Amino acid sequence: MPGMKAHYAVVSGMLVCAGMTPAHAAEAPPGAASCSGCHAAKPNVDTLVPRLAGQDAGAMVTAMQAYRSGQRPATVMDRIAKGFSDDEIKAIAAWFSAQP
Amino acid sequence: MFPRPLVAQGAQPRIVVIGGGFAGATAARFLKRTDTRLDVTLVEPNPIFTACPFSNEVIAGLRDMRVQLFRYDHIAGDGVAVVHQAAAAVDSQARIVTLGNGTKLNYDRLVLAPGSDPRFDALAGYDEAASERMPHAWKAGAQTLLLRRQLAAMEDGGTVVMALPALPYRCPPASYERASLIAYYLKTKKPRSKLVVLDAKDTFSMQRLFENAWKELYPNLEWMPASSGGNPNGVDVAAMTVSSDFDTYKADVANVIPPQKAGRIAELAGTADRTGWCPVEPVTFESRLVPGIHVLGDAAIAGAVPKSAFASNAVAKICAAAVARLVRGETPATPKFVNTCYSVVAPDYGFSIAGVYQPVNGQWLEVEGAGGVSPVDVPRAFRSQEAKFANGWFNTITSEIFG
């Protein structure tokens, strides 16, 4: 079964990576690193602004697009979302959803 | 174009960061986090950091100074060597930093984040000694508390005079936030007193929002733009006067924010140009004047990048990622970042300016169509919400850097 073979190849590749424990961390996509100025990376920070780590990527993309179009009311996220393309938003959302 | 990769040679690349504020402390922490093989040293004379954002609330008696204080323990806990010494000299040829106690630190790459220094040669009569009588309070700490004490000691019916410089300088909107909060203090504690703001500028960021708030809340605040003769041109400490192009103002309390320049070590390292600030490349924030040295935060002039704590934190993360790549012999990725600056003009009354920035043709520019200021015509609940977000921002960013 060709599909299965490909699957095994991916898994073994991942195991090799895990064994190496790379010293340098994966880099955040363009724009993502600045979000943690307001969206706390750690839990237990006293703020009304939600954390992004571990959130659903699709929901984040939908929210950003709605901020950008003005459909979703905001104080500042509407102004910020206008600076990002769909591809950039998707990359940022995928990155945050993978954060612990 | 890029120097030899250090990691490939098996050496542990040495990165020295000078300055433990929003830019430098972020850079040190994220360099180590980005690549644990980096040997990162943070050089900062003060064992305790005093945050400047929200220090205007301390001046107005609305906030305790203790919540502005942060230690470097957690940064050290991440594996950064934190050295509480001043940086005395930089030899950019030999790549050596000499500390105040004579210790020499070799570096492969140096990150300078010394903030801004007052120019004590720019405003007639305003030198360092004068700042003890007429505090600038533009560096949080003793100056902040001095201005707070002077306001508290002033008799009701007194006049407070503020002098504001021309651009560029550290966090310009904070000068109008300060004017607002001093006016708040006077209105609530010393209602027969007034505030005169002498300004070298005619226009400023978030101007309509500030002016609307002043109209609504602060009839005791008089703003004198340069075109109305407000440009401050000198002080007389003995007479306690501040003079402008048209007039001389007697002050009971004077808050003089002088013109500024990059922190001294930036000049000693040869990274400052004739303007007193440090031109840098976008993406890497490497000095345009001295290779191997990156300049971050208020000291740098990087196109449209604002001199704000938010932007300093954001670009420090970009620089950390770029430096980690450079020492591996890789090309840094093209970055992008967001800046958001809040101004709180009264308890529960805030607004903001935001921008999205990217490098275009070798310079940082704002993305067109994005960013801008808070809307002008909104209910008070909107201002209240932004004031809460402002507080949340302070807690979040300081937790990321020092927590």
H helix or E strand, kind and range, residue B341: strand B337-346
Most B-contacting residue of A47, A68, A87 (CB-CB within 10 A), to test interface: A47
DSSP A2-58: HHHHHHHHHHHHHHHHHHH--SBPPPPPTTGGGGGGTS-SSSS---SSPP-TT--HH
Arch. (CATH architecture) of A4-97: Orthogonal Bundle (1.10)
pLDDT of A4 reads: 40
Residue A22 has pLDDT above 70, yes or no: no
pLDDT band at B4 (very low <50, low <70, confident <90, very high): low
With beta carbons less than 8 A apart as the criterion, state whether B320 and A46 touch.
no
* Contact list, B318 vs chain A (CB under 8 Å): 33
* Contact list, B374 vs chain A (CB under 8 Å): 75-76
- Mean pLDDT to the nearest integer, B96-100: 98
Euclidean distance between the first and final Cα of chain B, in Å? 37
Q: Mind spelling out the 3-state secondary structure of B228-270?
A: HCCCEEEEECCCCEEEECCCEEECCEEEECCCEEECHHHHHCC
Q: Using CA atoms, how far apart are residues B1 and B190, in angstroms rounded to an integer?
A: 62
User: Which tokens belong to B16?
Assistant: 């020295």
H helix or E strand, kind and range, residue B386: helix B380-402
Say if A37 is an interface residue toward chain B (CB within 8 Å): yes
Q: Using CA atoms, how far apart are residues B393 and A52, in angstroms rounded to an integer?
A: 14
Residue B385 has pLDDT above 70, yes or no: yes
Phi, psi (5° rounding) for residue A54? 80, 0
- Which residues are CB-neighbours of A87 under 8 A, at least 6 positions away? none
pLDDT digits (tens, 9 = 90+) for B230-280: 999 999 999 999 999 999 999 999 999 999 999 999 999 999 999 999 999
With beta carbons less than 8 A apart as the criterion, state whether B341 and B374 touch.
no
Residue type, B41: T
pLDDT digits (tens, 9 = 90+) for A59-94: 999 999 999 999 999 999 999 999 999 999 999 999
Nearest residue on chain A to B393, alpha-carbon basis: A38
Q: Using CA atoms, how far apart are residues A47 and A43, in angstroms rounded to an integer?
A: 10
pLDDT of B11 reads: 76
Residue A79 has its nearest CB partner, among B370, B389, B392, at B370
With beta carbons less than 8 A apart as the criterion, state whether B351 and B342 touch.
yes
pLDDT of B17 reads: 99
pLDDT of A23 reads: 75
User: Which tokens belong to B335?
Assistant: 């970055």
Q: Please, which contacts does B199-202 make with residues 24 or more away whose CB atoms are closer than 8 Å?
A: B199/B164, B199/B223, B199/B224, B199/B225, B199/B226, B199/B230, B199/B231, B199/B232, B200/B164, B200/B165, B200/B166, B200/B226, B200/B230, B200/B231, B200/B232, B201/B164, B201/B166, B201/B167, B201/B225, B201/B226, B202/B226, B202/B227
Least-confidence region, from A21-25, A72-76, B33-37: A21-25
pLDDT of A24 reads: 81
pLDDT band at B6 (very low <50, low <70, confident <90, very high): low
- How does the average pLDDT of chain A come out, rounded? 84
pLDDT digits (tens, 9 = 90+) for B279-289: 999 999 999 99
Alpha-carbon distances, residue B96 vs B102, B143, B279 (angstroms): 12, 33, 21
- Mean pLDDT to the nearest integer, B22-37: 97
Say if B282 is an interface residue toward chain A (CB within 8 Å): no
Cβ-count burial B238-254 (b if 16+ within 10 Å, e if not): eebbbbbeeeebebbbb
pLDDT of A1 reads: 39
pLDDT of A25 reads: 80
- Mean pLDDT to the nearest integer, B144-155: 98
Domain boundaries, given as residue ranges, for chain A = 4-97
- Mean pLDDT to the nearest integer, B221-234: 98
Which chain B residues in 357-396 lie under 8 Å from chain A, judged by CB atoms? 358, 367, 369-372, 374, 382, 385-386, 388-389, 391-393, 395-396
ipTM attached to this prediction: 0.94
- Cβ distance of A79 and B333 shorter than 8 Å: no
Give burial (CB, 10 Å; 0-12/13-18/19+) of B289.
Answer: middle
H helix or E strand, kind and range, residue B43: strand B39-43
CB pairs under 8 A between A and B: 127
With beta carbons less than 8 A apart as the criterion, state whether B299 and B115 touch.
yes
User: Which tokens belong to B382?
Assistant: 């909107």
- Mean pLDDT to the nearest integer, B176-200: 98
Cβ-count burial B171-190 (b if 16+ within 10 Å, e if not): bbbbbbbbbbbbbbbbbeeb
Residue type, B384: S
**Helix, coil or strand: residue B118:** strand
Looking at the complex, report in whole angstroms how far the Cα of residue B252 sits from the nearest Cα belonging to chain A: 38
pLDDT digits (tens, 9 = 90+) for A1-13: 344 444 433 333 3
Looking at the complex, report in whole angstroms how far the Cα of residue A2 sits from the nearest Cα belonging to chain B: 36
Pairing of strands B293-295, B109-112: parallel
Residue B3 has pLDDT above 90, yes or no: no
Alpha-carbon distances, residue B55 vs B33, B65, B214, B330, B343 (angstroms): 29, 8, 20, 41, 12
Q: Using CA atoms, how far apart are residues A54 and A39, in angstroms rounded to an integer?
A: 12
User: Which tokens belong to A62?
Assistant: 């939908």
Residue B396 has its nearest CB partner, among A27, A37, A83, at A37
Residue B207 has pLDDT above 60, yes or no: yes
Scan for tokens 């800046």, then name that residue. B339
Scan for tokens 């903001």, then name that residue. B352
pLDDT digits (tens, 9 = 90+) for B101-141: 999 999 999 999 999 999 999 999 999 999 999 999 999 99
pLDDT band at B209 (very low <50, low <70, confident <90, very high): very high
Give burial (CB, 10 Å; 0-12/13-18/19+) of A87.
Answer: exposed
- Which residues are CB-neighbours of B293 under 8 A, at least 6 positions away? B90, B92, B109, B110, B111, B112, B269, B271, B286, B287
Provide the whole-model pTM. Answer: 0.94
- Mean pLDDT to the nearest integer, B171-186: 98
